[in-house]
Amino acid sequence: MASRRRTVEVFTLSFLDCICCGFGAVILFYTIVSAQAGVQGTRSTDALQAEVNRLEDQVQVGTRNLAVLHNQIEKTDSETASDETRIRSLASTVENQHEQVSTFAQNSVAKRAEIEKLEADIRSLEEGKRRLEAGSLDRTPPGQQVAAFRENGGDRRYITGIQLKGKRILILLDVSASMLHEDLVTILRLRNSDDEQKRNAAKWRRAVDTVTWLTTQIPRDSQYQIYTFNTQAHSLLPDEAGKWIGAGDAPQLARELANLRAIVPAEGTSLYNAFAATKALAPLPDQIVLITDGLPTRGKSAGLRKYVDSAARMRLFDEAVGQLPDKVPVDSILLPMLGDLQAAHRFWNLARQTNGTLLTPSKDWP
């Protein structure tokens, strides 16, 4: 029997090689899977890092905003402290103003009471004026009693020395600011007050009463004129300036007295212009009655110096006397003025030189 020949197959791959190939495939697969996992992890980490970066940016922005807020809070605290200081200051100011308002209210009450008293005095004066006008226009004959000085028609004849006996009598009334009071400090205070208070000043009312009294003493056959003067001289009736008025002309006298009560004393005293005005009357006066309170402070015009001393005032007086007409007696009624020591001597000398009279009236005259 023929023997079977064995077929020889050439196969050089051993089992170990297969195992190694399998392991290599597994390792390759694991490597691929790990690489893919690393790629995915890297992508996830990048996203997270971006989120972290974004959050860090927000934190930085928040930190900066927080610093700004801290600064604003500090500024607000400083402004609050400043406002509290201002509030306390304003509260103090308001309290002071309340106290001032309270004081002003008390002063206003006192002033209202004073005003009411002055109004009552004015009503009384107006009533006296109506009685005076009624008496002068309706009841009294022309001449000596063309006007009654008091309600009962009294003449106050217990005063002697001033006698109105001229045919042409000129009354010169000082209407300067010094006629408000005899004390300089009070004059300065009254000079800044209202016109009604100036008209009601005691010294000025006394001067007005003096003129009123003089008008009741004018002889019936005489003529008269009333001039007022401060820095300039003016007639109480501008349309009658330079003319003489008959003693029996009651309407003219009523007009003059009304204008006299409306005057407000002001400015300085120019006796020079007052005496110079006498020369404008035709014919010249034969008696002058001067009502003033001291030596002049002005000459013909304002000087360069703001203030004048006693020597300058005496010089201004002597210059003014040179403007008087010759041989005309000057009767001076000298009202009080503190500090003007040379006035009495100068006016006494004027009365002696002109054959006139000097009168320094008592406090209750006229």
Summarize pLDDT for 76-91 with one digit per residue, the tens.
Answer: 888 888 888 888 888 8
In a domain, 127, yes or no: no
Q: For the chain, what is the radius of gyration of the CA atoms?
A: 56
For CA atoms 224, 229, 235, 236, give the dihedral sign: negative
* Any domain includes 50: no
Instruction: Give me 97's structure tokens.
Output: 């103003």
Q: Would 324 be classed as within a structural domain?
A: yes
d(C-alpha 339, C-alpha 266), whole Å? 19
Task: With a cut of 60, say whether residue 101 has pLDDT above it.
Answer: yes
Cα gap 264→199, rounded to integer Å: 6
Is residue 124 included in any domain, yes or no?
Answer: no
Distance CA 331, CA 329 (A): 6
∠ at Cα 310 (308, 311), nearest 5°? 95
Mean per-residue pLDDT over the chain, rounded: 83
Which bin fits 119, alpha (ψ -120 to 50), beta or left (φ > 0)?
Answer: alpha
Answer whether residue 303 shows pLDDT above 50: yes
User: What residue type is 82 in one-letter code?
Assistant: S
Q: Is residue 130 part of a domain?
A: no
Q: Has residue 135 been placed in a domain?
A: no
8 Å CB contact between 291 and 336: no
The answer to the question of residue 88 being in a domain is: no
Q: For residue 263, give the nearest of 176, 182, 150 by alpha carbon.
A: 176
The answer to whether residue 218 sits within a structural domain is: yes
**Whether 198 contacts 264, CB under 8 Å:** yes
Checking if the pLDDT of 357 tops 70, the result is yes
Domain with 157 in it? 140-359
Higher pLDDT, 281 or 92: 281
pLDDT in tens, 125-183: 777 667 666 554 444 433 444 455 555 444 444 445 688 889 999 999 999 999 999 99
Q: What global pTM score does this model have?
A: 0.59
- Look at residue 206 in the predicted model and tell me its pLDDT: 92
Q: 151 in helix, strand or coil?
A: coil
In the chain, the number of structural domains is 1
The CATH number for 256's domain is: 3.40.50.410
**pLDDT tens profile 229-287:** 999 999 999 999 989 999 988 899 999 999 999 999 999 999 999 999 998 898 999 99
